[in-house]
Amino acid sequence: MGKGIRSMSSEKYPSEIFGYAHSAQSKKATSDRKKHWCPFVDQICNKQSRLVNYPFGVCTAHIENSEIALCPRRFLDGHLVFSDVARHYFKTKDNILLFSEIRLPDIGSFDYVMLKHKPLSSDIEDFVVIEFQTGQTTGTGGLVSGLKDFTAGKPVAGKSYKFGLNTYDIWKRTFTQILNKGVILEKWKKKIYWVVQEQIYQNFADRYNLQDLTYNDKHSTIFALYDLKPSSERFDLVATRKVSASLDRLFSSMRKKPDIPSVDEFIKKLQEKIKNSAQLSLRLDAKK
């Protein structure tokens, strides 16, 4: 699994549309879908695709025999994640406030900051940062085809639409953020929770040889892991476990990434380009 989630099953299709499982047929499910409603934020879905002229309401896709969340709003279901983090870190939900998109100069923004204040006061006792990381697809056109079929009343379960999970791109971008934001939180002596689905995290652990991580309260970087379990008409968001890592371990895992090609392999590629002069970009000693 080091380079991505490999296919164990050919079935790939949109499995949760506008907050309901593809099989849901209740009046509520039908009504919310017609309104393009997102039940996780109680608003119209804000996802867009140039391939459809209505919201791109695929919350979750079935792939690798699992339901993989594709939209960060999926983690807002019932505020479970926030309650879970509050209980885990603050040991209470009293006097807790949550703010979204807090910007930091030259760094970017934090998805959420959760703080505990003194009773009847604006004095802050402590805070944590919370970041969401969901799945990301390749071949999104295939996923759109599934959405169009579903909208047209065609069954999608059991089919294999042409899309996949782009785990390489997810972690190429996110690991840099994990390190950059982790440095800040470690210096502040505060914690950052990365909310990730089990299957997506497992690819990260395999890719960077982090399979042995457990939880250590001294670490500033925490991975709060969740999964989606089928229920009657919905998929239930379920907390599974928490693991953590020191920044030293994370930096070391990036430096010792197991699939880094050898310099000999790279030199061989360069030699092949020399032989094929058509690919030559510039020769400095050539006459004009």
Domain ranges of the chain: 13-264
In the structure encoding, which two tokens stand for residue 145, read together? Answer: 């085809």
Q: Phi first, then psi: what are they for 226, rounded to 5°?
A: -140, 165
pLDDT of residue 282: 59
Q: Determine the Cα angle at 231 with ends 226 and 234, to 5°.
A: 80
Is the CB of residue 136 less than 8 Å from the CB of residue 170? yes
Neighbours of 183 (CB within 10 A): 16
Q: Cα–Cα distance between 31 and 18 in angstroms, integer? A: 10
pTM: 0.87
Q: Cα–Cα distance between 203 and 126 in angstroms, integer? A: 32
pLDDT of residue 279: 54
Which among 54, 14, 4 is positioned nearest to 34, based on CA atoms?
Answer: 54
pLDDT of residue 251: 93
Cβ density class 26-59: b for 16+ within 10 Å, e for less: eeebeebbeebbbbbeeeebeeebeeeeebbbbb
pLDDT of residue 133: 96
pLDDT (tens, 9 = 90+) of the chain, 288 residues, equals 344 444 456 899 999 999 999 999 999 999 999 999 999 999 999 999 988 999 999 999 999 889 999 999 999 999 999 999 999 999 999 999 999 999 988 778 999 999 999 999 999 999 999 999 999 999 889 999 999 999 999 999 999 999 999 998 899 899 999 999 999 999 999 999 999 999 999 999 999 999 999 999 999 999 999 999 998 899 999 999 999 999 999 999 888 776 777 888 888 888 887 777 655 555 566 665
For residue 76, give every residue at least 6 positions away whose Cβ sits within 8 Å of its Cβ, in sequence order, or none: 40, 41
